[in-house]
Structure 1
């Protein structure tokens, strides 16, 4: 019997069917977690988001309403891997089965890469990558600490390199998990423990290769801060050469691989051995040269000591004294002979220029000159006396005084000017008249111009 002939069969309308299916789905699939890839993303003007969530075999329609979309911390795009919290429902109008998304977040490498870049920028801004903070690695470590998994391939490679390059350096292993949620705590505690114990003077932080998710423990902020605060220099050797973690940026030295990290923290033993051998040869040669030079110097000192022996010196000084005495005697004789010759010469010169002869000659010359001078003075005086007498007679003849004695007079005006014409005087004028003896003053009362 089928539904068409069974009168008791329930007959649903399309609306009733879709409503019942919707109720059934919502009651049995309440707040589930689903993961997949976004495709067919649509952003209508309403602000809601509509897309499909798919994997490699199936897909389901999804709706994210505007209120939840505004709280997203990333921008949904086609191809992103997400994990969503959703309710299973059905769109009654079309009978489409769908998921009503409540929350969603990125998953896979895309989310990790975004978190990686955000933390990198944050720590860089805080100065954790600053070159000024990098510590100098010891040239020859006294002990090497290794923070890694004790069962991984990395620890075997590291120990092999250390044994080959410099087997005499002690190695301390701080075993930690290098993957998983607990790895960051163990790595952080291992760095703190190594700094507290001070058993080594360099730390090697290492693990083998893997995906970004596998290496994520080395991209944790807790691990970065532990590396930054470490007083022991840290070399990072994490993953392959193309893998770069936050720990690599903070570490004092980043090595491309764990093997390269082991090479960086130890010197090359063979190279050092070669250098030591070269130093040994140089030191041996230097010792030989020094001994040879010392022996030569000792021989010279021995000869010099013999030459400086008191007896030898006394003999040399005595011979030198005799030589100097002979030279001094000859020198004195020569100087005496030279002085005697000079004295004889000077005596002859002195006798030649004896002032007694000159003085006698000068006295005779003086006496003769004095007699000639007296004679010349007397002659000159006699001549002048005769000339004076003659001039006196001549003067007396022309003298006005002689004229006055003959009865003549001389008259002068008030200024003492001689009056020779009547035009020089006037009535009432006082004049002086010189006589042979004395003078008189007279006043003119009358002038005759004839």
Structure 2
């Protein structure tokens, strides 16, 4: 009897199950946007962010790794409402469903961005961003109206720069909140109030600065409201806008007569450098003094000319006498100068003549002859010594082969009557006379026999 085939599925380990579940989740879901409130936020030393995203009905664990969060301008905090772009996954180690976050922003930022773009396009179509509409800033700002928070970093930065660059500039602070529901209305009211005071002669301002420090799009939203943009456009005073950091760009920046990247940059834009002013003032003072001197000289010449026409002859004589004294002094000075120059020239020529004197040249030649004589004597002594050495050597060699050396050893040389050397006894006969040369002296010999 056959046993039935079993329909039991294969047994999985926990790790295999979690891995399959993770693959299923990641393959089923594409990137998606999720909105909620942050809780249990943690940022360990690894740099990764971990938190729970929840709403009134549920919660889910989230992880945002360091390579993604280091570029975020928003730092999560517990209780913060955010909107994040993520992919669905599962942490295999705990079998925990989680979201891997790629990007996050404040909740509602997407809607704010859309509203920003709509207003931007609308105002641009009306020509409010056109450079031809905007007013130039005055060449010199003596009194500046600043519309910002009295406790924010922006007013501190502006005043710090102005104290350094132009302490003489007067600043009128029109305090307003720079974020929140009422901020846009109060900013518009401050712009209108400054223009009204200007028209009524209550204050005298040269320009307005609308500014605040950096923040998120939501923090900067008051400066993206249409009422603020239209108040800036309607202002009779030139308006500079410096909202946020350099990368931030608000509607207020676009419609303002001049945009600055930061509050500090706006302060530098509106204020001259006192060092440049000092240099310019010194230059103007120098030009003024020069013109005054020129005018005084002209007036003096005219006065002297008129005075000459009315002058008493005695005055003329005194002037001529004084002039004669002056010319005499100048002549004496010229003579002294000429004598000094001639004396210097004479000394120079004397030194040159001394350098070319025959006596000096003769002395130099004598010294040269003495040196050559010494060299000749040394050379001749050396050559004589070498010659004596060679002569002694040659004499020794010659003596070694000389016949006289043989005679000194007791030998003699015999020659016949013809003076021929006798080498063989057969060459002579008895009765022949022979000469014998000894080492010392000669002998006359007669051959008796052979």
TM-score norm. by structure 2 comes to 0.45
Q: Whose radius of gyration is greater, 1 or 2?
A: 1
TM-score norm. by structure 1 comes to 0.45
